[in-house]
Each structure stands twice: as C-alpha cells, then as structure tokens.
Amino acid sequence: MKLFDIAFKDMRQSLRSLSGIMFMFVVPVLVTVLFYFMFGGASADDEDSFALPRTDVLLVNLDAGTLPENADLSSEFSAGQSAALGSVTSMGELLAQILQQDAFADLLAVREVDDATAARTAVDNQEASVAIIIPSNFTDALLITQETAVIELYQDPTLTIGPAIVESLIKQFADSFVSTKIGTGVVIEQLVKSGAAINGALVEEIVRKFTAVAMESAQTTGALINVQPPPGANSEAGLIGEILGQILGGMMTFFAFFTGSAILQSILIEEEQGTLARLFTTPTQIRTIIGGKVTATFLMLFVQVTTLLLFGRLVFKINWGTALPIILAVGGIIVMSVATGLLLVSLMKNTRQAGVVYGGVLTLTGMIGMITIFTGGGANTSPMVRTVSLFVPQGWAVRGLQTAMNGGTAADILPTLAGLLVWVVIFAAIGQYRLQRRFA
C-alpha cells in the first residue's frame, strides 16, 4: 500500500532527525527531571535515587481529652511497634507521635508548638509549609459517638507536594479511627438491644480493643503512604511516582502536540523541496499522500508515548493507572495531536511561517492546557483552572490522562474522550478539506 510506503518513509525521516528525537523523547524526560529537582528532590539518598523534599510541619496539639483506662495501649502492639509509639495519653498525642516516627523523618520535619495563631503566621511567612492543628475535642470525637472534630491543615498555597503528603497521612489516620468509631457505636447499640447490662467498664473495654486494632492499622497503612488509589503502588515510590507522573504525563502531552505538528509539517517541507510536486507526477492520489503522513504521525506518536510511558514506569516507577483507562487516555492524546497538527499545517503558507506560529501557538496553548498539572494536578485544582484548561485541545488530552492516573475507570474517561473527539472531528475536517483544496 502506497499509504504505508509514504508513512514509513516519513517515519524513517523523523527518526533520522536529531531535533525530532530531541523533542519526542529527550526533552520531555529532561523537563520532568528538571521540575523534579526544582521541587527540591536533589537531596537524593543513596538507597533511593529519587527522594522527596522534606516538608516543614508545625504541629499544634490542642487535644484535651484522655484515652480510657489510663491507656497503656502498648500491650496491644507488637514489641517493635510499641517501642516506636511509646505510651500516649491522647489521640492527639498518638497522631503527633506517628507523624514524628523515624519512618517519616526523610519526609517531614515536625516541630510541636503551642499556639495555633503563631503556627498559621509562620506558614504565612513561609517559615513552614504546613500547620496541623489538632482540636481540643479530638480524642473525645474519636472515642465518643455523635461528636465530631476537625483537624485543621493550614498550608502554603504555593506548595503542593509537602501538604499533600501531610494530608494523606492524616486522612489515613482519621479514616482508621472513623471506622473504629462506627464499629464501636454499632457494637454498643447491639448490646443494648440484646438487653445486656451496660456498664462503663464494658464500653471502655470495647472501645479500647477497637482503638488498639485501628491504631495498628493506622500505623501500618500510615507507613505505606498509599496516597492515591492505583493498585500496586507501594512505598515512597508510589508518591514520587505520582508527582513525577503528573509532570512527565504533562510533558508527554505537551510535546506530543509538537510531534504531531512537526511530522505533518513535512507536507510544507516537501512542497518547498519539490518532492511533493514530484509525488503528484506519480500516479498517487492526494488523499493517499495526506493519509500516509497522518499514518506516520499516528505511528510516531504511538512510539513516542509508549516509550515515555515505559520509561516513566521503569525509571521513575510511575503508576499510570490500569490498562484500559490509560489506553483510552493515550489514544485521546494521540488523535488530538494528529488532528491539531493537520489543522495547523493546513493554515500555514510555508515552513518559515510554520516555524514561528507552531512555536508560539503550541507553547501557549500547551501551557494553558497543562495548567492543571502545575497547580497540583488531580483533586486539588480549582474548578476555574480546570475550565480554563479546557479552552485548548491540550487541556482535554491531559484531562483523560489525569483521570487514568488518579485511578479513574474507562467509564470515567469516556466523557473527556467524547469532548475531545468533537475537537478532533472539527480540526481534522477543516485540515483535510483545506489541504485537499490547496493541492487539488
């Protein structure tokens, strides 16, 4: 098939072009690594070449409650765990101890202070990244039904990674106790219904047991820092992978659009070098030529994206999500890049114009599209920012990828994909029409 002959010829040319290779593979990886170091990841351990930056945490423990039964909970723990925890008198203290464990020493630098206002001011002055304020009713809320307590996380809005880690740790802690609380409530209720005598000691005993179990799970899962749902993520690499994944995913999308445009720009290059006219002197249809170039672009983008995904997986241990969602998301990136490239090339007069316009337009729209990545990605991004990013095709492309990385299912991605396809159809139709007419 002539279409594939043209496609393979174009691919061969792209793979021989140094600048092509740079933009496709080297630059996205370099930028990812650069961003990573900008976030402070330079202090690499020997053990783990990608360590996270340490986050300065101010801890204000206002918890006034006490654990039942003098709470020497260590008996419920294994020897190692109780040694790590020591004896605690309140849940606030327990949380404080968990956060100050050696296991988190690389991630968090926790300092306990007494005054909540002072702690907030310190964060405002960027002396600390985040302040954790444990309310006075924290123990009571966890152990007594009907009462609620809110841990306040006061964070520096310009930072994303440090506060995210802290938030995730506290969530895990709180989650395990919330389920305990529900469990406790249910047990008590059932005892009442069965007519058993309820005395304070029995309730306390039940609560104590549940608390011990929950603490154990809080302790172990806390150490895992399993921040986001993707299965298989483990240890520190999971979180690092998520952050690097956001950046590499963003870079991959950003540069996929350059690849798409660069390969389709060969239409203009061939026009200027006379090979397009020569192609037209052979019995080859215009749509075969355009089709060949579109195919080349698809295949090269496939190579680029797969390489980057694999690279991210193997080197940065990035978890891209499960198979089907990521395939859909990546497919979206590819078709959107091709359609944008086709539209752009059809609007250009010559390569000189294309050089200027591509650089400007794709950089600008790419940055707008990537805005969700640089404002923290995932769930933290404000709706306004999300909306802005959807004014450009890159925003749609990266949205699917983010959904997949945040553990979304194929069904979660479909709406994004549908929106994206509207762009694709419009862009491709205009591009194809204009090129056909131009060379007819």
Partner 1 sequence: MGEYAVEVHDLHKDFGEVYAVKGVSFNVQRGEIFSLLGPNGAGKSTTISMLACLQRPSQGDALVMGHSVTAVPQQAKAALGIVPQEIALYDDLSARENLDFWGKMYGLRGAALQKQVDDVLELIGLTDRQKGRIGKFSGGMKRRVNIGAALLHKPDIIIMDEPTVGIDPQSRRHILDGVKALNQQGMTVLYTTHYMEEAQELSDHIAIMDQGEIIALGTHGELVRIVGEQDRIDLRINAPSELVMAHWQEVPGVSQVTADDGLISLLADDSNVVLPRLFEVATAVNVRITSVEIQEPNLETVFLHLTGRALRD
Contact residues toward partner 1 (CB under 8 A) are 2, 5, 9, 12-13, 16-17, 273-275, 277-284
Q: For residue 86, what are the contacts with CB-CB under 8 A and spacing of at least 6? A: 74, 97
Judged by beta carbon, residue 129 or residue 266, the one nearer partner 1 is: 266
Can you tell me the distance from the alpha carbon of 408 to that of 417, in angstroms, rounded to the nearest whole number?
13
Bridge partners of residue 109, in order along the sequence: 56
* C-beta closer to partner 1: residue 13 or 322: 13
The 10 Å CB-count burial string (b at 16+, else e) for 261-295 is bbbbbbbbebbeeeebeebeeeeeebebbbbbbbb
CB of 258 to partner 1, least distance (A): 19
318: left (phi over 0), alpha (psi -120 to 50) or beta: beta
Contact 60, 132 (CB under 8 A): yes
Residue number with CB closer to partner 1 (12 or 352): 12
Question: Please, what sign has the CA dihedral across residues 216, 220, 225, 228?
Answer: negative
Going through 269-390 in order, the beta strands assigned E by DSSP cover: none
Tokens of 425: 């159809």
Other beta carbons within 10 angstroms of residue 324's beta carbon come to 13
- As measured in angstroms, the least distance from the Cβ of 257 to partner 1 is 23
Rounded least distance, CB 254 to partner 1, Å: 26
Write down the least CB distance from residue 268 to partner 1, Å: 15
Is the distance from CB of 404 to CB of 252 less than 8 angstroms? no
- Residue closer to partner 1 by CB (options 275, 306) is 275
Minimal distance, residue 246 CB to partner 1, in Å: 36
Minimum CB–partner distance for residue 28 and partner 1 (Å) = 23
Smaller CB separation from partner 1, 18 or 379: 18
Residue with Cβ nearer partner 1 (70 or 282): 282
Of 18 and 79, the one with the shorter C-beta distance to partner 1 is 18
Answer for the pair 402, 372: CB distance below 8 angstroms, yes or no.
Answer: yes
Is-contact 194 85, C-beta < 8 A? no
Least distance between partner 1 and beta carbon 277 (Å): 6
